[in-house]
Amino acid sequence: MGILSVTVLLFSLSLLACLYRDLLFSNEGKLVRSVHYDHTEVIVHEKPGNYYPGEPKSDIHPESLQRSGNSRESECTTVPESRFDCGRDRLLSQVECEERGCCYAPLPGSAGPPWCFYPALYPGYNMGPLTPSERGQAATLTRASPSYLPKDISTLRLEVVEETTSCFHIVLKDPSSPRYEVPLPAGSPQTEAYTQDVLYTTEYQHDPFGFIVRRKSNGRVLLNTTVAPLLFADQYLQLSTTLASSLVSGLGEHYTSLILDLNWTSWTLWNRDMAPHADANLYGSHPFYIVQEEDGLAHGVFLLNSNAIEVVLQPTPALTWVSTGGILDLYIFLGPDPQSVIRQYLQVIGYPMMPPYWSLGFHLCRWGYTTTNATRSVAQRMHSANFPMDVQWNDLDYADKRRVFTFDPLRFGDLPEMVQEFHKEGMKYILILDPGISSISPPGTYPPFEDGVKRDIFIKNATGHILIGKVWPGPTAFPDFSNPKARQWWEDCIRDFLSKVPVDGLWIDMNEPSSFVQGSVEGCPDSELEKPPYTPRVVGGQLNSGTICMSAQQKLSSHYNLHNLYGLTEAYATHSALMKIQGKRPFVLSRSSFPGIGRFSGVWTGDVRSDWEQLRFSVPAVLQFSLFGVPLVGADICGFEGNTTEELCVRWMQLGAFYPFMRNHNDKPNAPQEPYVFGQKAQAAMRSALNLRYSLLPFLYTLFHRAHTSADTVARPLFMEFPTDPDCQTIDQQFLWGSSLLISPVLEQGAVELSAYLPAGTWYHLHNGQPFHSNGQYFQLPAPLETINVHVREGHIIPQQEPALTTAASRENHFFLTVALSTGGWAWGDLFWDDGDSLMTFETENYCYVNFTAGQSRIVSDPLNLSGALASLLLGGLQVFGVPSRPLYVLANGEKVDDFTYETDTKVLTVTRLALPMSKTFAVQWVL
C-alpha cells in the first residue's frame, strides 16, 4: 500500500486562501489506496457537529490533539470559509468548545463561519483491514474513546460495494444493534458483472477514518471525508466532505434556485405541510445532489436515509450531512455527464411510471366548486369558450362532512351521473383523497373507519391505542401504509367508492402526513423520539410540529423513522389499488414525496402564492423534480393562495403550458382564475398557449416514454443538455423539453421583451421558423402578452398533432411534423404511440414507434409497427425550417404536391393537405 504523508505548510495569511484546497487533502493521517478497490467509487456525505443538552464530558482534551510535528496553533489555523462546525446548535463558549477538543477563534461581525471548529485530525474511528464480504468488502471501525455525543456507538461496520462501473456504494452501520434501513424498491438493479474499468478510485485514511474518492480519468477529488470527523450516535449521524465545485443542485424540496447557495446555508429534509417560502422545509425530502464539475463532467451523491436530515453547505466548498437516525447508506454516481448521473440514480430508486396520455392535457381545479352544477358549469364554460381541457377536478367540497370515500347527498348527490357525463364528452374526472380517516362518525355510518379498526390498520400511539390527530373532518386516524393489511383495506375502500363514482385518478393530499394539532389530540409522550438530543432546523421547532407523534408505531418502525416515507407508501398503495381496480394506467398526484415516488405518482409543488416571485421560482422547482426522477410535475397555474391578476395569469398559463403536468388550481376565498373569466385579449393568449401544448402532446408523450424506459428527463435544465457551456450552468429561468425545444417564458411583470440565452447552434422560433444563429449568446426577443418564446433546436424533428378540446379528440386528428434542419441539412426525430392508457404497452410490445430522418432535401419515416395504434392516422402536413431556397416542386411518395408554400425571409417550407398513413413508410422530398 502506498502511504501519503504530507507536512502541513505554514505560509503567510495572504497565501492561505489560495493553498487551502491543497491543505484539505494534506492531513497527516495515512491515506491508503485500497488494494482490492483500486478503482473504487466512494460516496461521501457530510454532517455538522451539534450540541446535545446535558452532553457528557468528552474524553477528548486539547492536549490529546497535540501530535508530533503539529502545534495546537497550526492545527487551528484554518481559513474561515473552510471551518467545520463543532457546535451548530448554539454558540459555545471557549471553555465548552475546547472541552470538546475543538478550536475556538472568534470572528466578530461575521455571521457565517463557526467560531468553534474541528482541528485537523480530530480523534475519531480507527479503520481495520478490508476483507471480502458477500457483495464487496467490509471493515470494522472502532473508537478508542467516546465522542461528545450521548449514546455514542463505538464500533461500526463499513461495507463497500462496486455496484457498477459508475456507481459506488458505501454503508456505515452498527453491527451489534439493528437500526432502521430504508428498503430499495423491488426490481432495482443490483450489483452487476462488468468488464470495463470503473470510473473511480478510492483512498482510505485509517486513523482517524476517512476516505477520498477521485475521478479516475483526471484524478479530481470528488469527495474527501477526512476534513472533519465521522460521528455516529443513536440519534446523531454526521459525515462531512469537500465538494468538487460550487455548482450543486438537489437536496429538495425547498424554495430555491436550481444552483444552491453555499454561503453557510442549511437545508432540512423533513416533510411538512408548508406553503413554499424561503428557508423552510417543505412537502418532500430528497437527499440527493448533483455537482457540475469542470469540462462538462458531473457526479451525484445519494444518502438513502428517511430520518430528519440537515444538510449544511459552506463555501469551502463543502457539505455536511446530519441525520437523526438510521444508517449512513451512501451511493455516488460518476456519470460522467449530468444525464448519466440522473440515469444512474434512477437505477437505484426506480424509473418513473408511464402516465396515461389524457393526463398530459389541461386540468382545472378549485377548492370552492361547491356543487355538481357548479362543477359542470366550469367544464361547460371552458369548452364553450374553445379552451382545450381534459380533466375536471373537485377538492374536498364533494365529500360528506369532509370525510373521504363519501359524497355529500345534497350538493353532490348526482356526482356519479356528472362523472358519466364527463366521460361521454371525452373528459376525465379526479377528486381529492386525504389519508386522514374521520374517527367520530356515529356507529354504523362510516365503514372506512370501522372496517379499519377491525382490520387493525391505523397508526398507534406509544400506548398501543389508535393515534387521533385532527384534519379537515375533525378528529382523524391515519392508515399505516407500511402495513400490507392497510394497503388491502385502502384498495377495498377505493374499489367500493369507484363502484359508485367512476373517477379516473386520485389526488392524494395532506400526506406528509399533515395534522392540525401537534402530535395528537392527546399530545405526545415526553421521550427522546419526540424531543431528540438534536433537532434539525424545522418549521415549528419540533419534529412533531404539524404532524403526528414521532413515537407513533407503524408496522415497520416508529414514525420517527418512517415519517418522510408516508407519502411514498400512500402513493404506492394508491397506484397499486387503481391498477388492480381499473386494469389500466393509474393517475396519482401526491404532495408529499421521497426518492422513488416517480414510479407511482406525479407531484405538484403545493400551495404557491399568486405573485411574480412564485411564478419565477416554479421553474427551478419543476426542474429539481426532474432531477429527482419525478417528470410528471407542475405548479398550481395562476397561483393557489391570494388573488391573481390578468397579466400574471396569462404569463402563468403560458409557462404552465410547458409544465409536464398542467393544472390551474385556486383556493376557496380567492377571485376566480379560470381562463374564461378574463378579458378577450387575455383569453386569446391563454387559448393560444393551450392549443400549442395540445399540438405538442405527441412529442411530450414520446419524452415521457423515454423517461419511463431510459430515465431521460422531460423538463430539462440547460446544463444537462449543454454541460460544457459555462453559461448554461446556472440558468433556471429557461428550460428544455427533452433536447429539442427551448422554452423562454416571461417571468417579470410588465415585460414585453425578453433576454433569452440560446446555446451555440441554430435555433428556430417554433411559431414562424425564424432562425437564430447563436455563438452561445443572449438575444433580446419580443414577448408581447400573447407570446411565449419557444425555439426548436437545429437537427431535430418534432411530431405534432392538430389540437382539439380534449386529447380523446386530438388523438384522432392528423399529425404534422416540424423539421428543424441543421446547417448541414439533416434532422432526426421519433414518435412513441400506443392506446394511451393500457398497462405495460412497451414491455409487452403493444405500441408503435416511428423514426423520422431528414437529409438531402427529403424526410423519410421508418415505422416499427407492433400494434394497430397508428392504423387510421395520417400525416396531414409538415413545415421545414432552414430550406435554403424556394423548391421547384415537392414530392410525396414520388407524387407531386400542389399545396406548399415557401417564405423567403424565414426560409420556411410548409406542405399541407397531405394524407400519408403514419403506419407506413413515407417520403417527402423538396427539389431545389
SS (H, E, C) 725-740: CHHHCCCCCCEEECCC
**Dist. CA 292–CA 341, nearest whole Å:** 10
Q: Which distant-in-sequence residues (6+ apart) come within 8 Å of 884 by Cβ?
A: 907, 928
In the annotation, is 512 catalytic? yes
Which amino acid appears at position 167 of this protein? C
Give the Cα separation of 52 and 585 in Å (integer).
Answer: 49
CA-CA distance, 44 to 510, in Å (whole number)? 33
Task: Label residues 131-159 b or e (16+ Cβ within 10 Å = b).
Answer: eeeeebbbbbbebeebbbbbebbbebbbb
509 is an active site residue? yes
Q: In DSSP terms, which residues pair with 566 in a beta bridge?
A: none
- Which one from 509, 721, 834, 837 is the annotated catalytic residue? 509
Residue that is written with C-alpha cell 373537485 in the block: 394
Q: 389 and 381 in contact (C-beta within 8 Å)?
A: no
Q: Which residue has the cell 429539442?
A: 740
CB-based contacts of 788, cutoff 8 Å, min separation 6: 654, 655, 657, 658, 689, 692, 743, 744, 745, 746
Integer Cα distance of 506 and 679 in angstroms: 33
- Count of Cβ atoms closer than 10 Å to residue 373 Cβ: 12
In three-state form (DSSP H/G/I as H, E/B as E, the rest C), the secondary structure along 342-409 is HHHHHHHHCCCCCCCHHHHCEEECCCCCCCHHHHHHHHHHHHHCCCCCCEEEECHHHCHHHCCCCCCC
222 near 194, Cβ under 8 Å?
no
Q: Which residue has the cell 433537532?
A: 535
Contact 799, 698 (CB under 8 A): yes
Contact status, residue 602 vs residue 632, Cβ threshold 8 Å? yes
Q: Is the dihedral of CA 359, 363, 368, 370 positive or negative?
A: negative
Q: What is the C-alpha to C-alpha distance for residues 891 and 868, in angstroms, rounded to an integer?
A: 27
From the list 842, 693, 864, the residue with the least C-alpha distance to 351 is 842
Residue 734, Cα to own-chain centre: how many angstroms?
Answer: 17
Which member of 512, 530, 646, 732 is catalytic?
512
Cβ within 8 Å of residue 780, ≥6 positions away: 753, 754, 755
E strands of 606-693, at which residues? 633-634, 636-637, 662-664
Q: Are 490 and 574 in contact (CB under 8 A)?
A: yes
Which residues are identified as catalytic?
Answer: 509, 512
